[in-house]
């Protein structure tokens, strides 16, 4: 009911005010996390973002309505409380009111508080300028309704101006642009910077690191004047005394408010403590409270097992999130068997979900060890039941669980024992049930190793999705994933071992790395006795890892067999293989080690030690046609048999004392390289094709199913390519080159820079290795948000949108590329000679060429719909505008076509007013602008087909662009000159341009030009000096506002392309630049 007693209405009619208002919204959107508060008063308005910039940081904006709004009316809740508090989302406003960004986009903006569907809204009525109306030309007003939340009066005190903390020094900073430039330079040398100042106006910025100290001094900085008495009174009112036990602490209220929401509410809400100068805190240990205060003031405090729980209690009581995170990290790092139950109980008590989940997972996995502890008696029956009834409980058999339940029931009172006995006994599996019907609590886990990517993915059976990838351990040789590395799992641990970083360079990984899936950390547990890669690997699902064969030093096949005890962290060398093998499938079944290489081997332990025996398959159960001459590809074990994969086939192997029966179970959809078994199902992960998939085989029903499919992205392919090492990539690229084709070599180097920019530059170890390998020869290319495309031949024209990129080539093809993957979708042969220019809209592709043909292609099906030959000479330009197509050519003609409902072009009119070839045509606001070699720019009305303006130039027109009311053109004055001219549709003289801009530097040649209402961009070719060979390109962007006022404007943005190729074409749009060289082109975002 309060809403409809309040009124708010404001209006912005000045262009600068509109732009300033949008900049204010955009700034708040960047500084606030989610929402901000819009406070309205008769004489002031406020924008507040609490905790926006950083933890504890507030943003406060205050202004006067008369300085921004041309009209401003408001009525608050009551005459005495004449204010309105609204909560809104500035990010939504900034995204939807983007039309206010430019000065000339909107003529007026009206703000008002409205009611839409019984909900309060802040409505914006935008009256667009004539150049921003819709295509029909009928709608000139746009309304945006943004839902808001009315803040009740009881919460108004939370949104008052933040208190200024006590200070002794106040000083004006240098110009913000200078400070920003200084910080940008400092951030590459360290993470933290100190600012120091004194009352004499001296200021300095200090950055200290382990190796250097950098100081920047400023002298004679101005000082603001403050009332010292006010500062003293402010200091006195901000101090408060906290009595904790026998100790007292004098602290700042503002400091307490910043670090704790508990004190924030206490001092901002109408509580009795708000105005008190002394407060007593009960049930708090003074020693730990003092340590917490020191921690919040930036001092380091020792956390140990004695005080961590008391400190955590204080942090939870006063909502000290930073202190809570510090304690949580300590408990995770020191999670051990004798502490797990206590940590889980504390985490559950204080609502630390992440810590509680890790502690519970630790308890479930290590239950056999923890079941003998006395601390189970301290758990409530509810918590105890949640552990023993969990399906993930790691216990086999259930006898240990039964003993613990019986002990727990004996410790209960008779009443509780009778109530809980039935529910607790349900947690024990029925021993009389068939083994196949029982779910194993101790899951046999054998990972499926695919590819050589530097990441570990896991598949969740419940959600049927891949988890967030886990990076492989930090290998020390250079950060690359070693070749031939092997991975396995025992319990909650993933082990990664072996491999050689670069084959032939002796950069071996001899460490055994372990990843704790509970704590989510890597650590090195032991070292291998000798370097090895591409070995067979398997586990006994208990404590031992077996390594079989592989490659050792000097690429020699190995016959060594190692047994790694992960509990004792020891390595035992077993009897060698009868013959060397690499990557043999192996597994442990019934306490014996089976190897399925060129020779079938079974390793057994006896009183005499470990020994090998060979065997052959009993193929009597196999159908005819099964070829067993090839070795097996993968092996996994169940409780009753071994399952082997060979190509697409899956076999069941039942080793018995006198028989080795082999039975064909069926076929996978894709070829099987690796597989794993979880409970009674075999999972095969396919990562070798573009369509990645997970296929499952149920050993009870003998059924194959595909449970997940996913497209393999270009990102993963490039990751796999670079994960091996750098040398093979470089070698494979250059082995495909012709020694005489140096230009093609440049293109390959260009592609290689793409890999460096997008993948290796993001890795610090990779960047260090790159610097040592390439000696900085290929590091001149600047990182940009760009993609490279490889068409069929040399590029003449390029067009693009968010989804696709199009190019016309010299051999008459039009190539279409996917912007997301850079892959070419199709190459269409549309012209006999070169395709000079093309244009696109949502439905069509229209191309023109030197063969005098116009081709119309359906953009969805890529089928040619029409082929026209109305021109009597080469066609140089084409433009699609609304439902019209305009072309121009060497026959001095301009043709206007209408696009029908069947997407067929129908000729409406021919315009011939030029005496020479028409080189360029643009269309905007139903006006056709053409440039010709006859040195004229002519403007036609598309509706009446009449010529409305003629501009006389001194030179022929190279290219032009039109954005009403201005025409920008590059005259063909010859080489070594950067000159462009701007004409206005409103100017009286037609023989002289409105503005002629010629840069003072004389070693640039213009290539292309693009203009919008606010900006003008010119693409140029550049050289070191007058008459020199070109060395690169540059895209220069000017502000139209500066161009119209200053004949020698300064660029607002410059993009340098530090490389030169022959036969280059450069194309621009409002935010991107496309440039082609050889048989490739690149599209880059030069505003980012």
Q: What secondary structure letter does DSSP report for 454?
A: S
Give the pLDDT score at 581.
92
Least confident interval from 50-59, 749-758, 989-998:
749-758
- Model confidence at 262, in pLDDT bands (50, 70, 90)? confident
Share of the chain above pLDDT 90, in %: 20
Band (pLDDT 50/70/90 cuts) for residue 123 is very high
Whether 409 shows a pLDDT value over 80: the answer reads no
Residue 451: what pLDDT? 44
- Give yes or no for residue 214 having a pLDDT over 80: yes
The answer, yes or no, to whether residue 536 has pLDDT greater than 90, is yes
Q: Is the pLDDT of residue 770 over 80?
A: no
pLDDT at residue 216 above 70? yes
Q: What's the whole-number mean pLDDT along residues 214-226? A: 80
pLDDT at 68 over 70: yes
- Residue 532 pLDDT class (50, 70, 90 cuts): very high
Instruction: Say which residue, 621 or 981, is predicted with more confidence.
Output: 981
Residue 866's pLDDT band, with cuts at 50, 70 and 90, is: very high
Q: What angle do CA 1081, 1087, 1088 make, to 5 degrees?
A: 95
The DSSP code sequence of 139-182 is: --EEEEEEE-EEPPGGGGGGGSPPPPPP-S-----S-HHHHHHH
Q: What's the CA gap between 504 and 486, in Å, rounded?
A: 19
Which of the four pLDDT bands, split at 50, 70 and 90, describes residue 744?
Answer: very low
State the pLDDT confidence band at 720, using cuts at 50, 70 and 90: very low
CA 213/CA 1080 separation, integer angstroms: 46
Please give the full DSSP string across 870-917, using - where no structure is assigned. Answer: -SSS-EEEEEEETTEEEEEETTS-EEEEEE-TTS-EEEEEEE---SS-
Radius of gyration of the chain (CA): 38
- Secondary structure of residue 1 in the 3-state scheme: coil
pLDDT band of 145, cuts 50, 70, 90: very high
Neighbours of 104 (CB within 10 A): 16
1077, two tokens:
């060289």
What predicted TM-score, i.e. pTM, was given to this entire model? 0.43
Tens digit of each residue's pLDDT (9 = 90 or more) over 1017-1061: 887 777 665 555 666 777 788 888 888 887 778 888 777 765 555
- Per the listing, tokens 């933040």 go with 162
What residues pair up with 130 in beta bridges, in sequence order?
Answer: none
pLDDT score of 433 = 40
Burial class (CB in 10 A: 0-12, 13-18, 19+), 424: buried
In SS3 terms, 463-492 reads as: CCEECCCEECCCCCCCCCCCECCEEEEECC
Scan for tokens 């708010």, then name that residue: 8
Q: Per-residue pLDDT for 447 more than 70?
A: no
Give φ, ψ of 264 to 5 degrees: -60, -45
| pLDDT band for position 131 (cuts 50, 70, 90) | low
Domain 793-952 is in which class? mainly beta
Q: What is the pLDDT of residue 574?
A: 95
H or E element that contains 316 = helix 308-317
Is the pLDDT at 887 greater than 80? The verdict is: yes
CB 628 within 8 A of CB 579: no
pLDDT band, very low/low/confident/very high, at 463 (cuts 50, 70, 90): low
Q: Hey, which CATH number is domain 3-159, 3.40.50.2000, 2.60.120.10, 3.70.10.10, 3.30.950.10? A: 3.70.10.10
Per-range mean pLDDT, top range of 229-243, 781-795, 869-883: 869-883
Kindly give the interhelix angle for 353-365 and 340-349, rounded to the nearest 10 degrees.
Answer: 150
Instruction: Examine the pLDDT at 100 and tell me if it is beyond 60.
Output: yes
Whether residue 199 is predicted with pLDDT greater than 90 in this model: the reply is no
Q: Where in the chain is the domain with CATH 3.70.10.10?
A: 3-159
Residue pair 1031/1060 in contact by the 8 Å Cβ criterion = yes
826 phi and psi angles, rounded to 5 deg = -160, 150
Neighbours of 319 (CB within 10 A): 15
C-alpha span between 497 and 524 (Å, rounded): 10
1071, pLDDT greater than 90: no
What's residue 999's pLDDT?
59
In contact, 937 and 969? CB cutoff 8 Å:
yes
pLDDT at 280 over 50: yes
Q: What is the pLDDT of residues 2-36, one digit of tens each?
A: 444 688 999 998 888 888 888 888 888 888 767 88
Task: Give the model's confidence band at 630: pLDDT under 50 very low, under 70 low, under 90 confident, else very high.
Answer: low
Average pLDDT, the chain: 78
CA dist., res. 1003 & res. 1032, Å (int): 12
> Distances in Å between the alpha carbon of 916 and those of 648, 930, 937, 946, 949?
69, 12, 12, 19, 18
Which residues share a beta bridge with 240? 251
What per-residue confidence (pLDDT) applies to 1031? 67
Q: Is the pLDDT of residue 385 over 80?
A: no
All CATH 2.130.10.10 domain ranges of the chain, comma separated, are: 793-952
* pLDDT tens digit sequence for 52-66: 554 556 788 888 888
Instruction: Tell me: pLDDT of 466 over 80.
Output: no
In this predicted structure, the answer to whether residue 943 has a pLDDT above a threshold of 70 is yes
Output the CA–CA distances (angstroms, integers) from residue 352 to 326, 339, 355, in the order listed. Answer: 12, 16, 6
CB neighbour class for 848 (10 Å; exposed up to 12, middle 13-18, buried from 19): buried
Contact 983, 934 (CB under 8 A): no
Our CA angle for 369, 370, 373, nearest 5°, is 120
Burial class (CB in 10 A: 0-12, 13-18, 19+), 227: exposed
Greater model confidence, 874 or 469? 874
Cα dihedral 307/313/316/319 (nearest 10):
-70
pLDDT tens-digit map of 894-920? 999 999 988 899 999 999 889 999 999
Question: What's the rounded mean pLDDT across residues 925-933?
Answer: 92
pLDDT value of residue 783: 34
pLDDT of residue 1057: 66
Mean pLDDT for 628-648 is 85
Distance from C-alpha of 541 to C-alpha of 394, rounded to nearest angstrom: 12
Cβ(692)–Cβ(711) under 8 Å? yes
Tokens matching residue 991: 């023989």
Q: Which of 101, 93, 110, 92 is nearest to 132 (CA)?
A: 101
pLDDT category of residue 426 using cuts at 50, 70 and 90? low
pLDDT category of residue 724 using cuts at 50, 70 and 90: very low
Please tell me which residue, 922 or 425, carries the higher pLDDT value.
922
> Residue 908: what pLDDT?
92
Phi-psi region at 965: left, alpha or beta (left = phi > 0; alpha = psi -120 to 50): alpha
Instruction: Reply yes or no on whether the pLDDT at 114 is more than 50.
Output: yes
Ramachandran sector of residue 590 (left: φ over 0; alpha: ψ -120 to 50; beta: rest): left
Residue 261, helix vs strand vs coil: helix
**Comparing 743 with 663, which gets the higher pLDDT?**
663
CA distances from 1036 to 1015, 1022, 1054 (A): 10, 12, 5
**Stretch among 246-255, 733-742, 974-983 having the lowest mean pLDDT:** 733-742
Please give the pLDDT value at position 650. 92
Report the phi/psi class of residue 201: left, alpha or beta, with left for phi > 0 and alpha for psi in -120 to 50: left
Least confident of 602-611, 682-691, 710-719: 710-719
Helix (H, G, I), strand (E, B) or coil at 89: coil
Contact 862, 816 (CB under 8 A): yes
State residue 753's pLDDT score: 55
602 vs 611: CA distance, rounded Å: 8
Residue 965, preceding peptide bond in cis (omega within 30° of 0): yes
CATH superfamily placement of domain 455-714:
Kelch-type beta propeller (2.120.10.80)
The answer to whether the Cα torsion of 331, 335, 336, 342 is positive or negative is positive
Handedness of CA 399, 405, 406, 407 (dihedral sign): positive
CA distance 144 to 147: 10
Least confident interval from 471-475, 679-683, 684-688, 771-775: 771-775
Q: What is the pLDDT of residue 165?
A: 61
Closest CA to 788 of 879, 718, 712: 718
pLDDT of 886 strictly over 90:
yes
């Amino acid at each position: 009911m309060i809403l409809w007693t309040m009124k708010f209405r404001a209006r912005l009619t000045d262009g600068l005010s509109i732009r300033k208002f949008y900049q204010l919204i955009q700034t708040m959107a960047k500084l606030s996390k989610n929402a901000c508060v819009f406070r309205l008063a008769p004489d002031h308005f406020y924008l507040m973002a609490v905790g926006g910039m950083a933890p504890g940081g507030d943003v406060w904006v205050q202004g006067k309505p008369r300085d921004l709004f041309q009209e401003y009316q408001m009525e608050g809740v009551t005459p005495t409380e004449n204010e309105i508090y609204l909560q809104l989302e500035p990010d939504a406003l900034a995204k939807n009111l983007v039309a206010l960004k430019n000065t000339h986009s909107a003529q007026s903006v009206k703000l008002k508080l409205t009611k839409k569907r019984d909900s309060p809204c802040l409505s914006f009525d935008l009256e667009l300028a004539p150049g921003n109306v819709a295509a029909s030309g009928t709608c000139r007003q746009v309304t945006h309704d943004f839902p808001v939340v009315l803040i009740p009066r009881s919460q108004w005190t939370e949104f008052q101006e933040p208190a200024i903390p006590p200070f002794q020094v106040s000083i004006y900073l240098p110009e913000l642009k200078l400070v920003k430039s200084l910080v940008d330079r400092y951030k590459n040398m360290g993470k933290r910077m100190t600012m120091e100042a004194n009352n004499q106006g001296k200021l300095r910025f200090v950055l200290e690191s382990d190796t250097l100290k950098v100081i920047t001094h400023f002298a004679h900085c101005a000082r603001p004047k403050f009332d010292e008495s006010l500062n003293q009174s402010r200091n006195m009112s901000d101090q408060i005394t906290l009595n904790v036990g026998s100790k007292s602490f004098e602290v700042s209220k503002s400091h307490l408010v910043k670090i704790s929401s508990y004190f924030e509410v206490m001092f901002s809400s109408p509580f009795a403590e708000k105005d008190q100068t002394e407060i007593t805190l009960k049930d708090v240990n003074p020693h730990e409270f003092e340590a917490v205060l020191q921690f919040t003031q930036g001092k380091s405090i020792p956390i140990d097992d004695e005080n961590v729980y008391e400190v955590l209690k204080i942090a939870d009581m006063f909502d000290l999130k930073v202190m809570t995170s510090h304690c949580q990290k300590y408990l995770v790092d020191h999670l051990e068997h004798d502490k797990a139950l206590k940590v889980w109980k504390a985490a559950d008590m204080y609502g630390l979900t992440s810590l509680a989940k890790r502690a519970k997972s630790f308890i479930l996995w290590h239950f056999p060890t923890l079941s003998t502890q006395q601390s189970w008696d301290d758990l409530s029956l509810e918590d105890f039941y949640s552990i023993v009834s969990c399906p993930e409980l790691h216990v086999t058999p259930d006898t240990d669980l039964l003993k613990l339940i019986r002990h727990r029931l004996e410790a209960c009172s008779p009443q509780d024992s009778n109530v809980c006995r039935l529910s607790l006994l349900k947690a024990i599996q029925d021993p009389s049930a068939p083994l196949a019907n029982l779910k194993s609590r101790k899951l046999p886990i054998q990972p499926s190793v695919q590819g050589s990517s530097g990441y570990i993915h896991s598949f969740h059976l419940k959600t049927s999705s891949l988890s967030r990838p886990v990076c492989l351990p930090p290998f020390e040789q250079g950060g690359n994933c070693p070749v031939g590395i092997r991975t396995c799992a025992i319990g909650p641990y993933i082990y990664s071992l072996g491999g050689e970083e670069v084959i032939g360079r002796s950069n071996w990984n001899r460490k055994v790395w372990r990843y704790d899936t509970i704590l989510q950390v890597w650590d090195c547990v032991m070292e291998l006795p000798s370097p090895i890669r591409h070995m067979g690997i398997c586990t006994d699902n208990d404590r031992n890892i077996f390594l079989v064969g592989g490659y050792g030093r000097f690429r020699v096949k190995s016959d060594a067999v190692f047994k790694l005890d992960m509990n004792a962290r020891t390595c035992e060398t077993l009897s060698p293989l009868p013959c060397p093998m690499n990557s043999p499938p192996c597994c442990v079944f019934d306490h014996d080690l089976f190897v399925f290489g060129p020779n079938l081997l079974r390793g057994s332990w006896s009183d005499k030690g470990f020994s090998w025996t060979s065997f052959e398959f009993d193929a009597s159960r196999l159908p005819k046609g099964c070829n067993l001459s090839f070795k097996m590809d993968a092996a996994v074990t169940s409780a009753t048999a071994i399952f082997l994969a060979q190509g697409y086939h899956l076999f069941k192997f039942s080793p018995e004392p006198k028989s080795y029966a082999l039975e064909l179970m069926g076929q996978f959809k894709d070829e099987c390289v690796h597989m794993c078994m979880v409970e009674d199902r075999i999972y095969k992960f396919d990562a070798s094709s573009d369509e990645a998939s997970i296929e499952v085989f149920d050993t009870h029903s003998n059924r194959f199913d595909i449970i997940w499919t996913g497209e393999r992205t270009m990102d993963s392919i490039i990751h796999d390519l670079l994960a091996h090492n750098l040398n093979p990539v470089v070698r494979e690229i250059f082995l495909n080159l012709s020694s005489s084709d140096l230009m093609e070599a440049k293109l390959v180097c260009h592609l290689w820079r793409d890999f460096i920019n997008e993948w290796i530059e993001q890795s610090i170890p990779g960047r260090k290795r790159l610097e040592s390998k390439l000696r900085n020869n290929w590091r001149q290319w600047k990182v940009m948000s760009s993609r490279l495309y490889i068409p069929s031949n040399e590029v003449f024209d390029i067009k693009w949108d968010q989804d696709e990129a199009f190019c016309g080539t010299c051999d008459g093809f039009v190539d279409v590329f996917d912007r997301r993957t850079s892959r070419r979708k199709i190459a269409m042969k549309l012209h006999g000679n070169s395709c000079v220019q093309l244009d696109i809209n949502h439905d069509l592709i229209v191309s023109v060429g030197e063969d005098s043909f116009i081709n119309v292609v359906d953009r969805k099906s890529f089928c040619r719909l029409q082929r026209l030959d109305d021109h009597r000479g080469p066609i140089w330009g084409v433009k699609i505008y609304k439902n019209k197509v305009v072309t121009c050519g060497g026959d001095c003609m301009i043709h206007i076509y209408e696009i029908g409902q069947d997407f067929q072009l129908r000729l409406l009119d021919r315009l011939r007013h030029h005496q020479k070839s028409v080189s360029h045509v643009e269309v905007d606001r139903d006006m056709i602008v053409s440039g010709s070699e006859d040195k004229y720019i002519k403007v036609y009305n598309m509706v009446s087909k009449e010529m409305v303006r003629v501009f006389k130039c001194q030179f022929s027109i190279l290219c032009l662009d039109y954005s009403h009311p201005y025409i920008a053109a590059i005259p063909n004055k010859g080489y070594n000159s950067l000159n462009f001219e701007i004409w206005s549709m409103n100017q009286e003289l037609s023989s002289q341009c409105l503005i002629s801009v010629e840069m003072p530097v004389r070693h640039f040649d213009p290539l292309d030009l693009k203009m919008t209402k606010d900006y003008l961009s010119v693409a140029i070719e550049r050289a070191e000096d007058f008459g020199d060979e070109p060395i690169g390109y540059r895209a220069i962007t000017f502000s139209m506002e500066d161009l119209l006022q200053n004949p020698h404007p300064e660029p607002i943005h410059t993009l340098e392309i530090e490389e030169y190729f022959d036969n280059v074409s450069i194309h621009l749009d409002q935010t991107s630049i496309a440039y082609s060289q050889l048989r490739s082109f690149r599209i880059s975002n030069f505003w980012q």
